Amino acid sequence: MNDIIKLVHGDGGKHTHELIESIFYKHFRNDLLINGIDAATFTVKQGRMAFTTDSFVVKPLFFKGGDIGKLAVYGTVNDLAVSGAKPLYLSTAFIIEEGFPLESLKRIVVSIGNACMQTGVKVVTGDTKVVEKGRGDGIFINTSGVGIIEDDFSIRSIEEGDRIIVTGGIGEHGTAIALDRYDIKIKGNFESDCAPLNKIVMKLKRFYPSIKIMKDPTRGGLATALNEIASLSGLGVCVDEECVPLRKEVKAANELLGLDPLYMACEGRLILVVSKEAADSLLEEIIKIEGCEEAKIIGSFVKEPYNMVYMKTFLGGKRILNMLEGEMLPRIC
Amino acid sequence: MNDIIKLVHGDGGKHTHELIESIFYKHFRNDLLINGIDAATFTVKQGRMAFTTDSFVVKPLFFKGGDIGKLAVYGTVNDLAVSGAKPLYLSTAFIIEEGFPLESLKRIVVSIGNACMQTGVKVVTGDTKVVEKGRGDGIFINTSGVGIIEDDFSIRSIEEGDRIIVTGGIGEHGTAIALDRYDIKIKGNFESDCAPLNKIVMKLKRFYPSIKIMKDPTRGGLATALNEIASLSGLGVCVDEECVPLRKEVKAANELLGLDPLYMACEGRLILVVSKEAADSLLEEIIKIEGCEEAKIIGSFVKEPYNMVYMKTFLGGKRILNMLEGEMLPRIC
* Total count of residues recorded for chain B: 333
Contact B41 A47 (CB under 8 A): no
Q: How far is A328 from chain B (nearest CA, A)?
A: 7
B12–chain A Cβ distance below 8 A for any pair: yes
pLDDT value at A65 more than 80: yes
Q: What is the pLDDT of residue B35?
A: 67
pLDDT value at A35 more than 70: no
- Read off the pLDDT of residues B185-199 as tens digits, 9 standing for 90 and up: 999 989 999 999 999
Which residues are paired to A318 by β-bridges? Answer: A312
Contact A331 B48 (CB under 8 A): no
User: Residue A24 contacts by C-beta under 8 Å, 6 or more apart in sequence?
Assistant: A92, A109, A123, A126, A128
pLDDT value at B109 more than 80: yes
How many C-beta atoms surround the C-beta of residue A314 within 10 A?
9
B141–chain A Cβ distance below 8 A for any pair: no
A319–chain B Cβ distance below 8 A for any pair: no
Q: What is the pLDDT of residue B325?
A: 87
A92–chain B Cβ distance below 8 A for any pair: yes
Q: Identify the weakest region by mean pLDDT among A29-43, B4-18, B169-183.
A: A29-43
Catalogue all structural domains in chain B, each as residue range(s) with its CATH number.
7-149 (3.30.1330.10), 163-320 (3.90.650.10)
Query: Comparing C-alpha atoms, which of A251, A74, A73, A84 is closest to residue A172?
Result: A251
pLDDT band at B4 (very low <50, low <70, confident <90, very high): very high
**What is the C-alpha to C-alpha distance for residues A299 and B109, in angstroms, rounded to an integer?**
39
**What is the C-alpha to C-alpha distance for residues B85 and B133, in angstroms, rounded to an integer?**
39
Contact A39 B11 (CB under 8 A): no
Burial B30-57 (b: 16+ CB within 10 A, else e): eeebbeebbbbbbebeeebbbbbbbbbb
Q: How far is B128 from chain A (nearest CA, A)?
A: 8
Contact between A236 and A308 (Cβ < 8 Å): yes
Contact A93 B144 (CB under 8 A): yes
User: Residue A167 contacts by C-beta under 8 Å, 6 or more apart in sequence?
Assistant: A200, A269, A270, A271, A272, A286, A289, A291, A292, A294, A295
Contact A11 B149 (CB under 8 A): no
Contact B57 A127 (CB under 8 A): no
Q: What is the mean pLDDT of residues A276-305?
A: 96
B124–chain A Cβ distance below 8 A for any pair: yes
The predicted complex's ipTM stands at: 0.96
Q: What is the pLDDT of residue B319?
A: 95
Contact B131 A137 (CB under 8 A): yes
pLDDT value at A320 more than 90: yes
What is the average pLDDT value for chain A, to the nearest integer?
94
Residues 18 through 37 of chain A touching chain B, CB cutoff 8 Å: 36-37
Residues 245 through 264 of chain A touching chain B, CB cutoff 8 Å: 263
Measuring CA to CA, how many Å separate A104 from each of A73, A98, A171, A180, B248? 17, 13, 27, 17, 45
- Read off the pLDDT of residues A151-164 as tens digits, 9 standing for 90 and up: 878 788 999 999 99
Residues 189 through 228 of chain B touching chain A, CB cutoff 8 Å: 215-216, 218-220, 224, 228
Share of chain B above pLDDT 90, in %: 87
User: Residue A147 contacts by C-beta under 8 Å, 6 or more apart in sequence?
Assistant: A49, A50, A80, A81, A83, A85, A86, A87, A88, A89, B39
Contact between B192 and B66 (Cβ < 8 Å): yes
Contact A232 B36 (CB under 8 A): yes
pLDDT value at A1 more than 60: no
pLDDT value at A301 more than 90: yes
Contact A39 B52 (CB under 8 A): yes
Contact A51 B331 (CB under 8 A): no
Q: What is the pLDDT of residue A325?
A: 87
Strand, coil or helix: B84 = coil
Single-letter residue type at B177: I
Q: Which one of B34, B55, B97, B273 would you mutate to disrupt binding with A, by most A Cβ within 10 Å of its Cβ?
A: B55
User: Residue B111 contacts by C-beta under 8 Å, 6 or more apart in sequence?
Assistant: B67, B69, B70
**What is the C-alpha to C-alpha distance for residues B275 and B311, in angstroms, rounded to an integer?**
20
Q: Which one of B56, B100, B129 would you mutate to disrupt binding with A, by most A Cβ within 10 Å of its Cβ?
A: B129
